[in-house]
A = this chain, B = another copy of it.
Amino acid sequence: MINFASGLPDPRAIPVSDLREILIEVIEEYGYKALQYAPTRGLPEFIKVLTRFVHKTRGLKALPEDILITTGSQQALELITRLFVNPGEIVIVEEPSYILALNVFKLRNANIIGIAIDENGLRVDILEDTLKKLRREGKRVKLIYTMPLHQNPSGISMSLDRRRYLLELAEEHDFLIIEDDAYALLGFDDLLTPALASEDRFGRVLYLSTLSKTLAPGLRVGYLIAHEDVIMKLAAIKQACDLGTSTLSQAIGAKAIEKSVIDKNVERIKRLYKIKMDLMIEAIDEFFPKHIWRSSPGGGFYVWVKLNRDIDTEEVLKLSSKCGVLFTPGKRFCVNQDLCRDAMRLSFSNPSEDSIKIGIQILGDILHSNVKTPCY
């Protein structure tokens, strides 16, 4: 199987031998404390180094009280939704958006509205029109979920003026912004755009990120930065949900930051993923039909392809999976599924370099023969 469907990191992106060393140091240094309950808000040693880390890497000024450690950033998203969104209330997402964010909002029975993105990210003009229309109807948007950098599933980043405009709209229309910053450090150039939250003068942004893409997803460690009052409320819900995130994982995260293992790993894996993305887009440009559109990701794990024809990519998947090639059909990322019917998310993070070219070629063949090619 050539798997362009999953968002699993490349096995080589996980610094196993560094982590082996860290594990031994953690047990030596923390002893039983690495294996005991930690406060629900998080292991104090981890929170402390995180404040420095997010300042250095994302331009964020956070006090320890502003941080909640979560079981992956997925949990942060779920906790925020439970606190701020009541069933039936309006949540806005980018179209397309992260599938498991949509799942969280659906589980909460939120009223989900999708706003299109283009090459410069969220169409804030359409957003503004929608907000005005909703206001006229007496409806209120509770929150907007966005991934401003190297978005999942498109790989697109929001332009700086749109980011600023989004912050202004949040203040004017009184909504919160969830900034999911999971792929921020995996930008292929060395320009580091600060977090949207670092420009937030109004206290509208709830910032979340994770160690899953930069260190190891199996640790299940994410973090949420917001005002202390919000963090306290979220921690109370988290306590009922899981008492706290793995203490061992948090101690590992603390050591990995202290020893600059994450910094070094990020420099290494950015190059790895850039090579894989280049292979993928070259292959797409070579093997896919000419009238398609694809994104040009500046980072992250994913390329988004629009086939620009009347076709449901769920059907393409049925064929390609018979030939051993998986991807994720566009509809799954969209509220207005028709708009994404002919789209596909192609993940280059996990498959090997060799298999990327072969897999794209197989997909190209299927697309060229009008989706009827049997597996060859």
Contact = CB atoms under 8 A, between A and B. Distances in A.
Contact of A248 (B72, B75, B219): B219
A14 B241 CA distance: 24
A71 B75 CA distance: 11
A150 to B, nearest CB: 19
Interface in A71-119: 71-72, 74-75, 78, 100, 103-104, 107
A244 B219 contact: no
A1 to B, nearest CB: 16
A249 B104 CA distance: 25
A27 B35 contact: no
B27 A19 contact: yes
Contact of A107 (B74, B104, B237): B237
A372 B156 CA distance: 67
A217 interface: yes
Interface in A234-287: 237, 239-249, 252
Given A74-B240, A220-B243, A242-B75, A14 B32 contact: yes
Contacts of A32: 11, 14, 16, 216
A218 B35 contact: yes
State the number of copies, please.
2
A84 B44 CA distance: 35
Interface in A1-53: 8-9, 11, 14, 16, 19-20, 23-24, 27, 31-38
B19 A243 contact: no
A220 B16 CA distance: 22
A31 B24 CA distance: 15
Contacts of A249: 246, 248-249
Contacts of A104: 240
A20 B26 CA distance: 10
Contacts of A252: 248
Nearest to A34: B218
Contact of A27 (B11, B23, B241): B23
A158 to B, nearest CB: 25
Contact of A36 (B24, B218, B248): B218
16 contacts: A14-B32, A16-B32, A35-B217, A36-B216, A36-B217, A71-B245, A72-B243, A74-B240, A75-B242, A100-B239, A107-B240, A219-B247, A220-B242, A220-B243, A220-B247, A249-B249
